[in-house]
Amino acid sequence: MGPSTFGSGNKFFAYCSLGQQTQDLKYSNEPTYLEVGDDNTFREFVTVNRGTAPEARTRIGNGGNFLAYSHIAHDCTVGDRVIFSNNGTIAGHVEVGDHAVIGGLTAVHQFCRIGAHAITGGCSKIVQDVPPFMIADGNPAEVRGINRVGLERMGFSPDSLKLLKEAYRILYRSALNLHQAVERLQAELPDTPELLRLVDFLNSSSRGVIR
């Protein structure tokens, strides 16, 4: 429905609803959009809403798998090859990185970010950013460790996993505040692509990072 564009190879199952107007009460029939890439699967009763402000867009990348009753609200940006398990729900203005997994019945507060290759446990309550490569679980959620199984499946090397585990230890098992922990990451660990992505994410957080 609505002003929406879809790439090739997308699959739409019964009763999914994509491109309807935002549920944001500020919306006053301005022109807003939904943009969807290629090869996504939208299972039964999935809902995806357009943006709110004039010319605003909700964006979904390529190769995502959105299971039954999952919801993507207005003005969200969702990356490539994500998985939203049943009833995974993200509020407005949420960003979800590539290869992230939203667990069943997870609820993500507006303006939060879920980093690339991160995963949330079922029934989690996410009210701050989940860093890339990490597992967040609980109500409210806590970061429990690195997403080792998911990273191994994606072909991350043992050295990369070892580095990310050390980064997790500094961030979550030391007495340092976030600023101090980031400084220590940069001082003690090599500048691999994974570490640079993690540090950039931490430094750019506006809602704060789940600790």
92 is catalytic: yes
The active-site residue out of 92, 97, 104, 121 is 92
Going by C-beta distance under 8 Å and a sequence separation of 6 or more, which residues neighbour residue 78?
A: 59, 60, 61, 64, 72, 90, 95, 96
Strand-pair partners of 125 = 107
75 is a catalytic site residue:
yes
Q: What is the DSSP letter of 61?
A: -
Q: Distances in Å between the alpha carbon of 133 and those of 4, 12, 75, 173, 200? A: 31, 29, 24, 16, 13
- Active-site choice (74, 93, 99, 117): 74
Is 98 known to be catalytic? no
How many whole angstroms separate alpha carbon 204 and alpha carbon 196?
Answer: 12
Catalytic residue among 19, 24, 37, 75: 75
Could you give the C-alpha distances from 21 to 30, 76, 132, 206, in angstroms and in order? 10, 13, 31, 27
Q: Which pair of structure tokens corresponds to residue 82?
A: 């994500």
Could you list the active site residues?
74-75, 92
